[in-house]
Structure 1
Amino acid sequence: MASVWQYLTLGLGPETFGIDVEHVHEILDYRPAAALPQAPGSLLGMIDVRGQSYPVVDLRVRLGLAPAAPTPATRIILLHVPVRGRPLRVGVVADRVIEVTELDSAEMEAAPEVGGRWRSDYIAGIGRRGESFVVVFDLAALLAGEDGALLAPEMAA
């Protein structure tokens, strides 16, 4: 029997991506982050949300795309993601948030190994929404990455 999962769909340029709603804590209007010295290029800085600190990652830069100036549609999506067995609170910047949609896991395709624009190890699968595709992120892989930039030193080991 097929399982249907809900995903928050977001846009980066013309592409549509999906994040499992289980990990979405809140969606905020864009606001500048406080810069951190010697942070990796994809880490914009930190924001405070009701007394909780969140590192903020630019998804465009993380995926190797050119950065884009914020627009009125730009959002920060606050996530709570288990990474290497520990909880990680992080905000990710998206060009726009589209909607919550359902994708059938039985129809989910594996990430193609074509060496295209997206790193396939950051992709959990490719779903379909009507005639278009939704690239579903593997959040733990995307946020931990090769450099473990968002993880505390003891978590990156």
Structure 2
Amino acid sequence: MSSVWQYLTLGLGRETFGIDIEHVQEILDYRAPAALPQAPAFLVGMIDVRGQSYPVVDLRTKLGLPPEAPTPATRIILLNVPMPDRTMRVGFVADRVFEVTELDRAEMETAPDVGGRWRSHYIAGIGRRGEAFVVVFDLVRLMDGDAPALAGSALAA
């Protein structure tokens, strides 16, 4: 059985992240979500896609990165995240989407636990695409909780 899986690669700042393609439903051009009162800072609002409501998560805020205004390259990635008790429909705002690429899970490294700035429990693994690293999200852990995914983030207060 092959350990090569397909991932949608996306960019946030200078970092490249990957999402298992089996959870990706659609990629949309950015549009401003309808705001939700009392929502956590990373939940920027809701959008309607063909009669389905999607909460929209700003990945930059969720990861504790500084906010940036949307650009023509900004996308909303619609996902079906398999949570323990249900499937969660959610949209992730990404600075840009690159491509679908193959990564070998057998060659993925675990997230560094010491000295790194990422909270490693949000990371399923780190793959290589040529000379570049792709940080692969653990979507269930990323969506389970309100804390930013960057250790020591100003947003964690």
Assess same fold via TM > 0.5.
Answer: yes
Q: Give the aligned partner of residue 24 of structure 2.
A: 24
Superposed, 1:4-153 pairs within 5 Å as 4-145=4-145
**Equivalent residue number for residue 153 of structure 1:** none
Instruction: Tell me how far 1:89 sits from its aligned partner.
Output: 0.1
- CA distance in structure 1 between the partners assigned to 2:60 and 2:105 by the alignment: 26
Displacement over 2 Å in runs of 4+:
114-117
1:90: how far off? 0.1
How far off is 1:120 after superposition?
A: 0.8
Deviation at 1:143, TM superposition (A): 1.0
Deviations 1:108-143 (A, max 9, x none): 000110253321111000000000100000001001
TM-score (norm 2): 0.90
Is 2:40–2:146's contact at 8 Å kept on the other side of the alignment?
A: no
For 1:20-45, what per-residue CA distance to the aligned partner results, in whole angstroms no more than 9, with x for missing partners?
Answer: 00000000000000000000000000
- Is this contact kept in 2: 1:63–1:119, CA < 8 A? no
Amino acid paired to 1:17? F
1:2 Cα deviation (Å)? 4.9
Structure 1 CA distance for aligned equivalents of residues 146 and 42 of structure 2: 13
Corresponding pairs, count: 147
Write the distance in 2 (CA, Å) between the matches of 1:69 and 1:89.
Answer: 24
Distance 1:63 1:117 in 2: 10
Q: Tell me if structure 2 keeps the 8 A contact 1:56–1:93.
A: yes
For structure 1, which runs of at least 5 residues remain unmatched after alignment? Answer: 148-157
Alignment gaps of 5+ in structure 2: 148-157
For the residue of structure 2 that corresponds to 1:61, the secondary structure is helix
Q: Secondary structure at the match of 1:64?
A: coil
How large is the RMSD of aligned CA atoms in angstroms? 1.2
